């Protein structure tokens, strides 16, 4: 008997870490000793390769995927070289796209074909867009007819839809059957598809009539017809439904699996909770990254040059916006020369605007993701955030104004500080609501670069308001 | 037969929205007409109350919870007043803590007691810390002996642990049984606990010996002893395991349910995927909020004053850090007076540092959450992020330096700009790694306020580096 818990993942991965560390040491020794013969080195490496392969063979593909994600490039390559071909494909399915892409680049066509040959049509569907064209075609050609047509159907659905995520491993029973027919049908099966908590009752044209929870088979007399115990109030999805929306439904109604049907109620496949969970996790991560202008699945341990390049677009945008904000200051260089305290104080106004605005952005992005924001309440939301900004601007603007008065002994400078803070907080709240809503309206992810956009507005407007008010009211 | 999909949630909520809108109209009419008799008003209101109650009674508690979350305070109150007592408790369980707190505040003690009386011990456990002390005690006292002791055990586990989230609805069979005994036991049950995909095989002392997937009952001859078909390679959790870690295990091994055991392998309860999913969702949202210094479950449609107050701590911290950064500029006021372009350019250096640093923070926070960062790779990660910062600093610093040279025709000012950009990007990368790691080390959430902390460092250091270099190299 063997218990394993999450705690022990590190424990399970330990042998691999030790082998990798030992490899480093051996390599260092080999590098240092001048007399090392090639044969001895080769022997050491081969021995090592075998040990690492054996250690990997003892791990679950999901654990290996986790390991691969957390290794620096060199160690990642060592592990990948020792990966048994039979699990390599599953590891590619489990790791993030950016890591899978790099591994596929570093793998020979022959090895990819062997690894891919071990994959089911559904797993192949997950990585097929990452594979080189010719390998993809040869692997698809190698599938059975039914598998091939299934794969070709699901990949036509956009990536974030139910159709792309559904599985066709479905247990189906004819609506004319009795419970004992179901039990007889089950006994002929070798195994059940994963996450089978219910089976689907269909009519002669494969139209869904109801669902039969497994428990109904235990709790009812075997003579009953399935139509009498089946549930007909069903949560079903069309294949073009957003996976996001399906995810919310899984959370809300605690689903384990749900049928996917076409517009004529015909059963196409099934969506299961494990796929939904993975999807939701990836979405949540992606949102956090998109807000900062990172690639959705940026590889934490990827090579420097590629990581640097991934960030160029946003760095460039950020520089451009910072430059524009700086030109706003440029307009007021005359004022700053007359009263240098303005230069010292202007970043405070900009910074507090950025902070407040990003809070509003975070709230609105979540509200949109959860479907809580709606025509009927967006006005209330805007008034509320503006109200919060006004209230906090009055309170904290006064505090700052007083501090400025104490520092510089200039009463009017304090008043300008307070006024500019209030105004910039209002700008921040309005922008914090408008930017994600506008992104959503034009069909983009509301999180995408919203932080960069917002900071641009709060910086430029902060400088403009503060320096403009100072020029109007303080300078002769 | 009735299909429902996520798409139709809005459709299902529509009658309620319409009733609320009509209520507003009626109220406006009543307010306007001066001759309105109290009796007529009262009649209109009572009629309205009945209609709203009826509309709510047709909705799933999870849908009502969603509705309540997205309503402005006034409408929220109308809905809450019309809520049937039998579903009110379940709605409190489903909404976020901040919304539940407010609803509980606005509810009479009697009504809370009635609503609470409809809840199971487990649902009560979810909201018991939000209830007023005396109501909590009376509700707990009203539970059956077994329910009470269960509730009192689970609430002793910290909120983010498996023990707090586990359920005790578990199907258990003795290890001496045969499959047909299990089937006989099932037939005596009225219903199965939700998310039963396996039952637990225990010995005489309630120690877990193995698990029996439901499908094993269909696929095997009924004469076999359960010990022959049970699975013994089990993923089980101790109650003190972090719910985060359990969540990762559910995702990694595609679990629907998992046993919770004590140190002597005795079965305590069960963790199910629906609870884990809700937990993971809340965590992901909380992280996004904590990074901006928002309360983890800030109510999107809460009242203005409370929302404003929720943000005071971080506004204050932000003001304090902005003030410190501004004092850094204050040191160099003399330099700025001599060369006012410095004031114009310094925010660019600060801004690009903040942007880069926040990208690193987002990467590290995710890496920590997924358990991908480990003693063995943190050095590589630091070198990589510093490498990325150096590379991007050299490239984009040169670009900015050149732009500054074009704008001001001052070659040395361009060089200072380039140098300061490189240095501040290095500072940003180092801080972006150090802040979340330090938070994790001291046992806090790595996301907590990391954005505010980081911006503080990149602002102050950006100003210090740029103005310092300018003072050293440009001014006589």
Q: Is A185 on the interface with B (CB under 8 A)?
A: no
CB atoms within 10 A of CB A136: 17
Give tens-digit pLDDT for A68-127.
Answer: 888 888 888 888 988 888 889 999 998 888 889 889 998 999 999 999 889 888 888 888
Give the lowest-confidence range in A46-50, A184-188, A221-225, A262-266.
A46-50
Task: Give the nearest chain B residue to A454 (CA atoms).
Answer: B355
Please say if the pLDDT value at position B440 is more than 50: yes
What is the interface pTM, i.e. ipTM, of the complex?
A: 0.81
Give tens-digit pLDDT for B153-164.
Answer: 888 888 889 998
B69, B187, B463: residue with CB nearest A219: B187
B2, B314, B380: residue with CB nearest A72: B380
- Alpha-carbon distances, residue A297 vs A217, B284, B321 (angstroms): 43, 16, 32
* A172-273 CATH choice from 3.10.580.10, 3.40.190.10, 3.40.50.2300, 3.90.180.10: 3.10.580.10
B60, B195, B348: residue with CB nearest A323: B348
Residues of A in contact with B7 (CB under 8 A): 238, 241, 245
Give me the pLDDT at residue A290, please: 79
Which has the closest alpha carbon to A237: A213, A265, A212?
A: A265
A60, A66, A219: residue with CB nearest B186: A219
Give me the pLDDT at residue A468, please: 96
Give the lowest-confidence range in A237-246, B12-21, B461-470.
B12-21
Q: Is B285 on the interface with A (CB under 8 A)?
A: yes
Q: In this structure, are residues B358 and A292 in contact, taking their beta carbons and an 8 Å threshold?
A: yes
pLDDT band at residue B152, thresholds of 50, 70 and 90? confident
Helix (H, G, I), strand (E, B) or coil at A373: coil
Q: In this structure, are residues A435 and A453 in contact, taking their beta carbons and an 8 Å threshold?
A: yes
Give tens-digit pLDDT for A251-291.
Answer: 888 899 999 999 899 999 999 999 999 898 888 878 778 77
CB atoms within 10 A of CB A200: 22
Taking CB atoms and an 8 Å limit, are B351 and A455 in contact across chains? yes
Residue A228 buriedness (CB in 10 A; 0-12 / 13-18 / 19+): exposed
CA distance B93 to chain A (A): 12
Taking CB atoms and an 8 Å limit, are A392 and B311 in contact across chains? yes
Give the lowest-confidence range in A392-406, A408-422, B12-26, B352-366.
B12-26
CB interface of A with B, residues 366-395, below 8 Å:
366-367, 370-374, 376-377, 380-381, 384, 387-388, 391-392, 395
Residue with tokens 């996976």: A243
Give me the pLDDT at residue B276, please: 92
Sign of CA dihedral A33, A35, A40, A45: positive
Helix ranges (DSSP H) in B142-222 = 145-154, 162-165, 179-188, 214-219
CB atoms within 10 A of CB B327: 13
Taking CB atoms and an 8 Å limit, are A372 and B195 in contact across chains? no
Task: Give the nearest chain A residue to B258 (CA atoms).
Answer: A5
Give tens-digit pLDDT for A26-72.
Answer: 666 666 665 556 666 677 677 778 888 888 888 888 888 888 888 88
Q: Is B287 on the interface with A (CB under 8 A)?
A: yes
Q: A311-473 belongs to which CATH class?
A: mainly alpha
Mean pLDDT of all residues belonging to chain A: 87
Mean pLDDT of B346-371: 90
CA B373 to CA A457: how far, in whole Å?
35
DSSP β-ladder status, B257-261 and B233-235: unpaired
Mean pLDDT of A208-213: 93
Which has the closest alpha carbon to A196: A184, A172, A214?
A: A214
Exposure on the CB side of residue A109, measured as CA atoms within 13 A: 8
Please say if the pLDDT value at position B233 is more than 90: no
CATH code for A6-156?
Answer: 1.25.60.10
**Number of CB pairs, chain A paired with chain B, less than 8 A apart:** 404
Give tens-digit pLDDT for B269-281.
Answer: 999 999 999 898 8
Q: In this structure, are residues B4 and A235 in contact, taking their beta carbons and an 8 Å threshold?
A: yes
Residue with tokens 């496949």: A269
CA distance A369 to chain B (A): 10
Distance in angstroms between the alpha carbons of the first and the last residue of chain A: 86
Instruction: Kindly report, as residue ranges, where domains of CATH 3.10.580.10 are found in chain A.
Output: 172-273
CB interface of A with B, residues 212-231, below 8 Å:
214-215, 217-219
pLDDT band at residue B461, thresholds of 50, 70 and 90? very high
Give me the pLDDT at residue B6, please: 42
A63, A343, A363: residue with CB nearest B343: A343
Who wins on pLDDT, A215 or A13?
A: A215
CA distance B234 to chain A (A): 5
Residues of B in contact with A9 (CB under 8 A): 249, 371
Instruction: Kindly report, as residue ranges, where domains of CATH 3.10.580.10 are found in chain B.
Output: 172-281
CA distance A2 to chain B (A): 5
Q: Which residues pair with B235 in a beta bridge?
A: A4
A71, A319, A358: residue with CB nearest B292: A358
Please say if the pLDDT value at position B3 is more than 60: no
Q: Is A406 on the interface with B (CB under 8 A)?
A: no
Taking CB atoms and an 8 Å limit, are A347 and B325 in contact across chains? yes
Q: Is B314 on the interface with A (CB under 8 A)?
A: yes
Residues of B in contact with A195 (CB under 8 A): 197, 254, 256
Give me the pLDDT at residue B4, please: 46
CA distance A288 to chain B (A): 7
Residues of B in contact with A350 (CB under 8 A): 347
CA distance A134 to chain B (A): 31
Mean pLDDT of all residues belonging to chain B: 87
* B172-281 CATH choice from 1.10.3720.10, 3.30.9.10, 2.40.100.10, 3.10.580.10: 3.10.580.10
CB interface of A with B, residues 294-313, below 8 Å:
294, 298, 300-305, 307-308, 311-312
- Classify the phi-psi angles of B212: left when phi > 0, otherwise alpha if psi is within -120 to 50, otherwise beta: beta
Q: In this structure, are residues B202 and B209 in contact, taking their beta carbons and an 8 Å threshold?
A: yes
Which has the closest alpha carbon to A148: A137, A132, A159?
A: A137
Predicted TM-score of the model (pTM): 0.81
DSSP β-ladder status, B257-261 and A198-202: unpaired
Percentage of chain B beyond pLDDT 90 is 42
A274, A337, A363: residue with CB nearest B298: A363
DSSP β-ladder status, B198-202 and B208-213: antiparallel
Give me the pLDDT at residue A5, please: 46
- Alpha-carbon distances, residue A91 vs A96, A131, A133, A399 (angstroms): 10, 14, 20, 57
What is the Cα B442 distance to its own chain's centre?
21
Give me the pLDDT at residue B1, please: 34
Instruction: Kindly report, as residue ranges, where domains of CATH 1.25.60.10 are found in chain B.
Output: 6-156
Q: In this structure, are residues B166 and B260 in contact, taking their beta carbons and an 8 Å threshold?
A: yes
Helix (H, G, I), strand (E, B) or coil at B66: helix
Please say if the pLDDT value at position B33 is more than 80: no
Residues of A in contact with B214 (CB under 8 A): 214
Residue with tokens 């001066």: B34
């Amino acid at each position: 008997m063997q218990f394993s818990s999450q705690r022990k993942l590190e424990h399970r991965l330990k042998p691999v870490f030790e082998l990798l560390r030992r490899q480093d040491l051996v390599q260092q020794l080999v590098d240092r000793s001048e007399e090392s013969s090639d044969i001895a080195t080769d022997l050491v490496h081969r021995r090592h390769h075998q040990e690492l392969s054996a250690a990997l063979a003892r791990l679950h593909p999901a654990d290996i995927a986790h390991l691969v994600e957390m290794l620096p490039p060199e160690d990642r390559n060592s592990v990948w070289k020792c990966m048994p071909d039979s699990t390599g494909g599953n590891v590619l399915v489990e790791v993030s796209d950016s890591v899978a892409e790099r591994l596929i680049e570093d793998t020979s066509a022959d090895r990819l074909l062997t690894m891919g040959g071990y994959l089911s049509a559904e797993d192949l569907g997950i990585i097929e867009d990452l594979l080189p064209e010719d390998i993809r075609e040869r692997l698809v050609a190698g599938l059975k007819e039914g598998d091939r047509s299934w794969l070709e159907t699901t990949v036509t659905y956009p990536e974030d839809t139910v159709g792309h995520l559904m599985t066709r491993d479905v247990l189906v029973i004819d609506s004319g059957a009795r419970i004992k027919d179901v039990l007889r049908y089950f006994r002929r099966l070798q195994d059940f598809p994963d996450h089978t908590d219910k089976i689907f009752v269909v009519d002669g044209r494969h139209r869904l009539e109801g669902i039969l929870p497994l428990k109904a088979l235990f709790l009812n007399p075997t003579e009953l017809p399935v139509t009498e115990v089946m549930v007909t109030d069903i949560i079903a999805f069309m294949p073009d439904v957003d996976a996001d929306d399906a995810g919310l439904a899984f959370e809300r109604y605690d689903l384990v699996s749900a049928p996917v049907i076409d517009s004529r109620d015909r059963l196409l496949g099934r969506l299961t909770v494990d796929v939904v969970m993975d999807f939701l996790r990836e979405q949540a991560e992606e949102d956090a990254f998109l807000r900062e202008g990172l690639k959705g699945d940026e590889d934490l341990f990827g090579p420097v040059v590629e990581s640097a390049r991934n960030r160029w677009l946003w760095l460039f945008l950020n520089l451009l916006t910072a430059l524009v904000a700086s030109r706003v200051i440029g307009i007021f260089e005359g004022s700053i020369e007359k009263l240098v305290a303005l230069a010292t104080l202007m970043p405070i106004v900009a910074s507090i605007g950025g902070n407040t605005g990003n809070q509003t952005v975070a709230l609105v992005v979540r509200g949109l993701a959860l479907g809580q924001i709606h025509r009927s309440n967006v006005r209330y939301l805007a008034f509320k955030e503006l109200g919060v900004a006004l209230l906090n601007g009055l309170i904290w603007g006064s505090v700052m104004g007083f501090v400025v008065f104490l520092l510089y002994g200039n009463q009017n400078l304090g008043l300008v500080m307070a006024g500019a803070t209030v105004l910039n907080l209002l700008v921040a709240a309005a922008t914090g609501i408008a930017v994600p809503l506008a992104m959503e309206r034009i069909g983009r992810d509301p999180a995408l670069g919203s932080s960069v956009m917002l900071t641009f507005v709060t910086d430029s407007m902060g400088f403009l308001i503060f320096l403009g008010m100072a020029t109007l009211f303080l300078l002769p």
